[in-house]
Structure 1
Amino acid sequence: MSNNKLNKFFVVGIGASAGGLRAIEEFFDYMPSDSGAAFVVVQHLSPDFKSLMKELLERRTQMQVHRVEEGIKLEPNNVYLIPPRKNLFVHNGFLSLTEQDVNPRLHPNYPINLFFESLAKDYADKAIGVILSGSGSDGAQGLPSINEAGGLVFVQSPTTAEFDGMPQSAIATGVVDRVLPPKELAKLIYDIVQMRKVRSPVQDNYTGEIDPKHLKEIIEILNASEKIDFSYYKINTLTRRISRRYSIAGFADLDNYIIRLRDSKEEQNLLLEDLLIGVTSFFRDPEAWKILETKILPNIITHLGEEQLRVWVTACATGEEAYSMVMLLDKVMQQMGKNNSIKVFATDIDTAALSSIW
């Protein structure tokens, strides 16, 4: 989550690789220079040739284009380009650089993933991640971080990309909000940023909190439709997820969105998917797993005797945490010389996520 509560503008992170130049140019051809967002382009660059991206983009946009230097501050209506041989991060609104590994065959560099992850931490629901043409899968690991933080995730349609590896990998994460050609992505992002700018102070109130009356209406609609009660959900989480959903749906105010939500089963399902946040991975949150391995599980197993060990993994999403638990239990059992039987239960209210496990 962002520690920089003063962030008032969106930051759009654009990841591209092979074939990305044409897509980037098309994107900025259709992005007005007064959007109010900052744009950070993270492209895979050859270390052996000077990049002409700055000069090329200056022909496509009236925004000021910068080659990133250490400590440069992000400003709205500016474009920032990663230099060759560098990884790029953002912290408290300032960009920083580190050297890439000199032997990528031994230690592959994934600069798009790294930037997206830092963008999610710093800008939270003001982060937008975009994947354009490229081979490989860079960016796919970073996109879920943006989604989980309440940001938006967009991908170039594979049929319009010169190389569809990165777009296809991004789509496979299941967290992508829209898949469109570059020019349509530019128009959509511009519209979303403008809608967020014109929302009334009553709705946003500088904290982003939704009016309690609107929030109660939305909770009641979902409860009646899906039999799921979100009234005990964290208010900040509800606010972020609802805001991102009605932005994507093209609504500038909640009153009209609630009318649509009440009448549309499809929109109810889409909002539900956003609220359930099915982002997961194997051994997610390594520190917690380390405590389980070294302290909690050994203590439980020591006092278990010959009984079966039963573990319940709630909110298991697509199962990665449940499988992680099984692998960790097997490891700890072997280390302790135990052979107790193990049974792991995994549950989730997201039936679509559960159906993908098997």
Structure 2
Amino acid sequence: MTAHASAPDHDEPAPDDFAIVAVASSAGGIRGLSVLLETLGTGLPVPLLIVQHLDPRHSTVIADVLARRSPLTIKLAEDGEQALPGFVYIAPPNHHLLVGPDGVLTLTSSKLVHFVRPSADLLFESVAGAYGSRAIACVLTGSGYDGAMGVDAVKSRGGTVIAEDPRTAEFRGMPEAAVQTGAVDFVLPLEEIAAVIRGLVETKRQ
């Protein structure tokens, strides 16, 4: 890729800046996501993608519920749309959510991964492949171990991994499985995660 002499646009992260945040949660996740999104505040300079395990038999109001707690724009992801800074995109029930290097979102109904769809592992792996060291992956409360393979992929590509502290998580399975991979950079109480994400995405790396 040819370097450009001019400074990057404010809305487009420089090559070494973080460019995307991906979050995974399951049991207890509505509360966990509410706290995270509320404390993130306004004007997030990157897109945020969420996999929350939902009942595939019912339509969901998760975006509306979370929007009441956050000033960010929150919506269910749509196939083929462009992920924009300051927007939060949630995987719809029964669909895997992936992202490409151009920031275009893809929804797929391919097979379950570790018995779940959407899969945090698939989201994290796509984020790792598309953004490498510019990706942040975060695992919140949840039962099971979805996300563990994915955080390993993010870390192996130079990205940064955050996990809710299993000792204080409502359900410790998912964050504990993530921590046990050895790929987690920050293990934090839920209430401290937003500040770390903000610090990472708003600080230019040397």
Matched with 2:3 is none
Structure number with greater Rg is 1
Alignment of 1:4-23 (within 5 A): 8=13, 10-23=19-32
Amino acid at match of 1:125: S
Deviation at 1:146, TM superposition (A): 0.8
Matched with 2:122 is 114
Conservation of the 8 A alpha-carbon contact between 1:29 and 1:183: no
Matched with 1:73 is 82
Distance 2:132 2:62 in 1: 28
Question: Of residues 142, 146, 161 in structure 1, which corresponds to 2:154?
Answer: 146
SS class of match (2:115): coil
Distance 2:156 2:114 in 1: 27
Conservation of the 8 A alpha-carbon contact between 1:140 and 1:170: yes
Does residue 97 (structure 1) correspond to residue 107 (structure 2)? The answer is yes
Kindly provide the CA deviation profile for residues 193-243 of structure 1, in whole angstroms up to 9, marking residues without a partner as x: 1112xxxxxxxxxxxxxxxxxxxxxxxxxxxxxxxxxxxxxxxxxxxxxx5
Amino acid at match of 1:109: V
Deviation at 1:119, TM superposition (A): 0.3
Does residue 134 (structure 1) correspond to residue 170 (structure 2)? The answer is no
Point out the structure with the larger helix share. Answer: 1
Greater relative contact order (CA < 8 Å, ≥ 6 in sequence): 2
Alignment gaps of 5+ in structure 1: 1-5, 197-242, 244-253, 255-358
Amino acid at match of 2:107: L
Provide TM-score, normalisation by structure 2. 0.87
Provide TM-score, normalisation by structure 1. 0.51
SS class of match (1:116): helix
Two-structure CA RMSD over aligned residues (Å): 1.8
Distance 1:35 1:112 in 2: 21
Deviation at 1:136, TM superposition (A): 0.5
SS class of match (2:99): strand
Matched with 2:96 is 87
Does residue 63 (structure 1) correspond to residue 98 (structure 2)? The answer is no
Matched with 1:155 is 163
Q: Percent identity?
A: 36
Alignment of 1:174-193 (within 5 A): 174-193=182-201
Amino acid at match of 1:116: F
Runs (4 or more) in structure 1 with deviation over 3 Å come to none
SS class of match (1:96): strand
SS class of match (1:142): helix
